[in-house]
Amino acid sequence: MLKYIVKRLLLLIPILLAVSVVVFLILRLGEGDPAMSYLRLSNIPPTDEALAVARTALGLDQPLPVQYAAWLGKALTLDFGRSYVTGNPVLGEILYYLPNTLKLAGFSLLLTLAISLPLGIWSALYKDRLPDHVTRVLAFTGVSMPSFWLGFLLVWLFSIHLKWLPPMGMGTMSHMLMPAVTMSLMSLAINTRLIRGNMLDNMHARYVLYARARGLPERVVVGRHVLVNSLIPVITAVGMHVGELFGGAVVAESIFSWPGVGRYAVSAIYNRDFPVMQCFILIMTTIFVLMNLCVDILYAWLDPRIRLEGGTRQ
Amino acid sequence: MRTLFRLAFATLLACAMLLPVLSVQSAHAADKDTLTYSWASNVGPLNPHLYSPSQMFAQALVYEPLVRYGKDGTVQPWLAESWEISPDGKVYTFALRKNVTFSDGTPFDADAVKKNFDAVLRNAESHDWLEFIAQIDKTEVVDAHTFRLTLKNSYYPALQELCLIRPMRFLSPSAFPDDGDTGKSIKAPVGTGPWKLVEIRRGEHDIFEANENYWGEKPKFKRLVVKVIPDSDGRAVAFDTGVIDLIYGAGGHGAGQIGLDTFRRYAEMPGLKTDVSKPLATRNFALNSKRFPTDDLAVRTAILHGVNKAAIVKHIFLGVEPQADTLFSPNMPYCDLGLAPFTHDLEKAKAGLEAAGWKTVAGSEYRMKDGKELALDLCFVGNDSLQKTVAEAVQGDLKRLGMKVRLVGEEADSFYTRQRTGEFGMIFGDTWGAPYDPHSFCSGMRVPSHADYQAQLGLPMKEEIDRAIGEVLVSVDEDKRSELYRYIITTLHEQAVYLPLSYMTNIYVHRPDLTGVDFGPTKYEMPFDSIGRQ
C-alpha cells in the first residue's frame, strides 16, 4: 500500500512538468499581451516605448525557452514569480486566498453529503411514492440549473426580498450558506440519484435476501449491508465533486464576492497575469491528483475485494 | 429507520427556521460615522509615483497635487498657493501653502516637494507617456516654502499635467524607502490628503480614516470603507441590501460601477438620488483615412451623416451618456468652437456617395465604384456588450446607404493591437478626458502607435496638423494657442476622421440620507470629503 502511494506521488512530478509546459505555451502563444494589459490597468497609453518598458519590467523580452527555464528554475524552489498586477509573490497570494476557498469547498462537500445521503436513502426506500417524486424533481432542478443563475436567484430571494442572509462577503456562517448551496446543488442532485440507484440495485442482491433469511431486522439489513455497499460508487463521485466544487467556486466566489482563490484566478485571467494563472493551474492539478489518490485508497479500505496494484491489502 | 429520517428532517427544518436569526441587519451600511463604497479590486499599495495595482481614485484620496483641475477646466491653486511663470514659459516658481503637514505630522515644505520630484525623475522611463516629465530640466528649493521648476522647453500643459493623480503627487519624506527609490516601494502610504489608508484586507475591503491633521475642510465621515466587489451586478445587489451606501463612477458593464440599464432602474425608483455628470470624455469611432474605402472623404462624410446617433444614445446608452457631435465636448478648454454637427441625413449621405461615384448596382445590396464593393471593417472588443450593440446598430444604419460593414469582434489585446497598427476601417476609441483633453490627446495624435495617428495618416494635411500640435504645446501666447487649437480641431472635424458617439459621464446612486454628493472635476477624483449623513 505504502509503495503504491509513493509511486503515485512520484507520478505527480511528470504530470506537473507536462502541465506546466502546456500551460506556459498556451498562455504565451495566445493573442494576448500582458504588457498591454498592464498598461491598460495603469491607464497609460500603450505607446511602443511604454510597451517596451513594461515588457522588460515583466521579463517578457526574453525568448520563450529562456523564460520557461527561468520560471522552472525558480518554481523548483517554490518561487512561482511575482504577479504582474500586484507585484507580490504569486504563491503567497494564492496561499492567502486558498484557505477561504477550502473552507467554502469543505462546507459545500459536507452539505452535499449531509443532504444527498438521507435524500437518496429516503427516495430509495419509498421508490415511486411521494418522497421519491419529490427528490426526483429536486434532482432534476439541481442538475439543470446553471450555478450562476441559482446564485442570483438565492440572492434575490434570501437577501433582497427576505433580507435573511448577507448577499456577499465572508465572516459568519450565514455568509457561507448561499455560496455553498450554489456550489453544491448540482453535486447534491447527482449524488442523491446515485445513492438511490445503488440502493435499489443492492436491495435486490442475493446477500440482502440471505440477510433477511437470517432474520436480521430491516434496520440492520438496510443500514449495515445495503447502505455500505451502495456508498462505494459514491466515493468516486465525491472525488469528482471535489473538482467540480473548485470549478464551481470560481462562479460562486465571483457572485458572492467571496475572497477565495477562484475569484483571484478569474481576475488574473482578465488581466493576463501569467504567473498567477500558471501557479493556480499547478496547484489545482496537484489537488486533483491527490484527491484521486485518496479515492483509490478509500476504495481499497472500504471494499476488500478491490486490491491495489502491486500489493495485497494491508 | 423512520425515526432517523424524522430526526434528520427536524434538523433541516430547524436550520431553515434559524436562517432569519442569522439575518443581515448587521450588514447594513447605515453607520453614522462610516461611508461604505465599493470598487472592483483592492486599492493597492498606494505608491503615489507608481501605477497599477494602485487605484487612481484612492491615490487621489491620500495624495494631493500642487495645483488642481477645476470644474470649469481651469487650473486652481492647491498645495501651491500661487505660481509665477517666466516670460519664456520655462521657469515655474511655486509659493507653497504654509502650515500643511503630512498625515504623520511631517511638515510639507519645498524640501519634500523636491524630494518627490527627484524620486519621480529617477524613474523617468516609467513615465515616458507623460511629456511633462520628459520636459523637466531642474528642480530647486528656493526657500522653505518656495519651489522652482525649470523646463527644457516652454510646455504650456505643464500645469494641467501637474493636476494629474499620478505620478506627481507628494509622499511624506518619512515614508520614503531608505534608498530613496520610490520606483520600487514605499514604507507606508502617507500623504497630505483628507484621508489616510489604515487597513487593507485582500479581496475583502480597504479602510480609510479621515486625516485629523488635514489643512483644508475635513471629511464629514470618520471612516470610508471600500468593499471589494468585482462584479457590477454584485455591486447593485450590495446597494439594494444596504451593504454599500454609494455607487459612484463610470457607468456601463465591465470597467463601470453598474450597467446603464441598472442605473436607469435606480433613476426611476422613487426614494433614491441619482445623477449624471457633465461630459468627462468622448466615446468615438476613428475612421481610417489611409485605407480603402474610408480614404475617400465622401465615404467618411456619408458615415457621419448615415449613423443615427440619436437612436443609439436613446436605446443603447439609455440617455445616460449624451449625444456627442464633436471630438471634444465644448466644456473642455479651447473646445467651444461652435462647429456645425453632421446631422443624421440619409439623403445627404446617399447624394454624397453618388456624387463621388459610388453607384448602386442591380442585384447587389451594396454600392460599387471601379469594380470594388463599398465595404469596411468595424473593429470592437468582442466581449464588450456595449461596443457590440453599438457596432450592430452602425452596421444596420450604414447598410441603408449601401455600405457593407464587416464586424470584427476580438479580445481586448488584439483590438488594441489593431489600434496601434492601423488595421481597421472604423475602430472604437475614447478621448482621455479631463484633464488630458485636448492637449495630451492631441499630443498622442503624433505618435504612430495611436489609433488617431493611424486614422489621420491619409489626410493631405496630416503633417500640418502634427506641426500645429507641436507648436500649440510650446506656445506661450494664449491667443495663438486658441487659434492653433481651432485649426487642429476644426480640420479634424471637417475631414470627418472621427465619428463622435457620446460623451462619457460618471453616475451616482445613493439613498436620501447622504448629503453633499457631487461630481468631481475628473473621472477619478471623487469628492468623498464633502459627503455626510443626515
pLDDT per position as a tens digit, A157-196 = 999 899 899 988 888 888 999 999 999 998 889 889 999 9
- For range A195-223, the mean pLDDT: 87
pLDDT of residue A307: 61
Inspect the interface and report whether the beta carbons of A46 and B51 lie closer than 8 Å: no
Task: Count other C-beta atoms under 10 Å from residue A61's C-beta.
Answer: 13
Inspect the interface and report whether the beta carbons of A40 and B204 lie closer than 8 Å: no
Q: Can you name the residues that pair with B91 across neighbouring β-strands?
A: B150
pLDDT per position as a tens digit, A58-111 = 878 888 888 888 888 888 888 888 888 887 889 999 999 999 999 999 999 999
Single-letter amino acid, residue A143: V
Beta B91-96 vs B80-85: how paired, if at all?
A: antiparallel
Q: How far apart are CA B167 and CA B172, in angstroms?
A: 14
- For range A45-60, the mean pLDDT: 79
- Written as nine digits, the cell of A141 is 432542478
State the pLDDT confidence band at A8, using cuts at 50, 70 and 90: confident
* All structural domains of chain A with their residue ranges: 15-77, 90-310
**Best CA proximity match to B524, nearest among B280, B289, B313, B268:** B280
Q: How far apart are CA B330 and CA B73, in angstroms?
A: 11
Overall size of chain A counted in residues: 314
- In angstroms, the separation between the Cα of residue A175 and the nearest Cα of chain B is 9
Beta B281-287 vs B426-430: how paired, if at all?
A: antiparallel
CB-CB neighbors (< 8 A) of B414 in chain A: 31-32
Sheet holding B246-250, edge to edge: B246-250, B506-510, B273-276
Tell me the residues of chain A between 146 and 205 that have a Cβ less than 8 Å away from chain B.
152, 155, 158-160, 162-170, 172-174, 177
Per the model's pLDDT, the better-predicted residue between B55 and A300 turns out to be B55
State the pLDDT confidence band at A309, using cuts at 50, 70 and 90: low
Lookup result for grid cell 440617455 = B319
pLDDT of residue B27: 43
Per the model's pLDDT, the better-predicted residue between A28 and B518 turns out to be B518
Determine contact: A99 vs chain B, CB below 8 A.
no
CB-CB neighbors (< 8 A) of A85 in chain B: 52-53
Q: Could you say which of B19, B238, B411 has the minimum Cβ distance to residue A165? A: B19
Range list of H helices, B241-315: 260-268, 297-306, 309-315
Tell me the residues of chain B between 136 and 195 that have a Cβ less than 8 Å away from chain A.
none
Tell me the residues of chain B between 208 and 267 that have a Cβ less than 8 Å away from chain A.
227-231, 233-234, 237-238, 240-241, 243
Task: Count other C-beta atoms under 10 Å from residue B338's C-beta.
Answer: 7
Inspect the interface and report whether the beta carbons of B234 and A254 lie closer than 8 Å: yes
Inspect the interface and report whether the beta carbons of A40 and B416 lie closer than 8 Å: yes
Beta B426-430 vs B375-381: how paired, if at all?
A: parallel
- In angstroms, the separation between the Cα of residue B98 and the nearest Cα of chain A is 33
Over its C-alpha atoms, chain A yields an Rg (Å, rounded) of 24
Q: How far apart are CA B204 and CA A179, in angstroms?
A: 16
Inspect the interface and report whether the beta carbons of B41 and A152 lie closer than 8 Å: no
Helix (H, G, I), strand (E, B) or coil at A199: helix
**Best CA proximity match to A234, nearest among A161, A159, A299:** A299
Mean pLDDT, chain A, integer: 85
- In angstroms, the separation between the Cα of residue A211 and the nearest Cα of chain B is 17
Domains and CATH numbers, chain B: 195-277+506-533 (3.40.190.10), 281-504 (3.10.105.10)
Q: Cβ-count burial of B212 within 10 angstroms (0-12 exposed, 13-18 middle, 19+ buried)?
A: exposed
Inspect the interface and report whether the beta carbons of A41 and B23 lie closer than 8 Å: no
Single-letter amino acid, residue B433: G
Determine contact: A274 vs chain B, CB below 8 A.
no
- For range A23-47, the mean pLDDT: 77
Please give the ipTM for the structure prediction.
0.80
pLDDT of residue B255: 67
Q: How far apart are CA B129 and CA B440, in angstroms?
A: 10
What percentage of chain A's residues is helix, strand, coil (to nearest 5)?
75, 0, 25
Inspect the interface and report whether the beta carbons of B1 and A222 lie closer than 8 Å: yes
- In angstroms, the separation between the Cα of residue B317 and the nearest Cα of chain A is 23
Q: How far apart are CA B202 and CA B152, in angstroms?
A: 43
Tell me the residues of chain A between 40 and 59 that have a Cβ less than 8 Å away from chain B.
40-51, 53, 57
**Sign of the torsion formed by the C-alpha atoms of A109, A111, A112 and A114:** positive
Which DSSP state fits A218?
H
Inspect the interface and report whether the beta carbons of A166 and B234 lie closer than 8 Å: no
Phi, psi of A203 (to 5 degrees): -65, -25
Which DSSP state fits B244?
-
Determine contact: B3 vs chain A, CB below 8 A.
no
Inspect the interface and report whether the beta carbons of B5 and A167 lie closer than 8 Å: no
B329: alpha, beta or left? (left if phi > 0; alpha if psi -120 to 50): beta
Task: Count other C-beta atoms under 10 Å from residue B187's C-beta.
Answer: 13
Longest CA pairwise span in chain A (Å): 86
Q: Which of B37, B130, B237 has the most A C-beta neighbours within 10 Å, making it the best mutation to test the interface with A?
A: B237
- In angstroms, the separation between the Cα of residue B234 and the nearest Cα of chain A is 6
CATH class of the structural domain A90-310: mainly alpha
pLDDT per position as a tens digit, B494-505 = 999 999 999 999
Whether A270 contacts A229, CB under 8 Å:
no
List the single range of A129-138, A304-313, B173-182, B215-224 with lowest mean pLDDT: A304-313
What percentage of chain B's residues is helix, strand, coil (to nearest 5)?
35, 20, 45
Reported as type and span, the H/E element at residue B224 is: strand B223-228
Beta B205-210 vs B223-228: how paired, if at all?
A: antiparallel
Q: How far apart are CA A250 and CA A259, in angstroms?
A: 11
Whether B324 contacts B310, CB under 8 Å:
no
Q: Could you say which of B24, B416, B450 has the minimum Cβ distance to residue A36? A: B416
Q: How far apart are CA A90 and CA A80, in angstroms?
A: 6
State the pLDDT confidence band at A303, using cuts at 50, 70 and 90: confident
Residue B315: CA count within 13 A, CB half-sphere: 10
pLDDT of residue B20: 43
Checking if the pLDDT of A55 tops 50, the result is: yes
Determine contact: B14 vs chain A, CB below 8 A.
no
CB-CB neighbors (< 8 A) of B522 in chain A: none
Highest mean pLDDT among A225-229, A269-273, B173-177: B173-177
Reply yes or no: is the peptide bond before residue B194 cis, omega within 30 of 0.
Answer: no
Q: How far apart are CA B201 and CA B203, in angstroms?
A: 6
Lookup result for grid cell 457590477 = B232
pLDDT per position as a tens digit, B408-438 = 998 877 888 898 889 999 999 999 888 888 9
Residue B409: CA count within 13 A, CB half-sphere: 13
Determine contact: A98 vs chain B, CB below 8 A.
no
Determine contact: B430 vs chain A, CB below 8 A.
no
**Residue spans of chain B under pLDDT 70:** 1-30, 253-255
pLDDT of residue B26: 42
- In angstroms, the separation between the Cα of residue B450 and the nearest Cα of chain A is 7
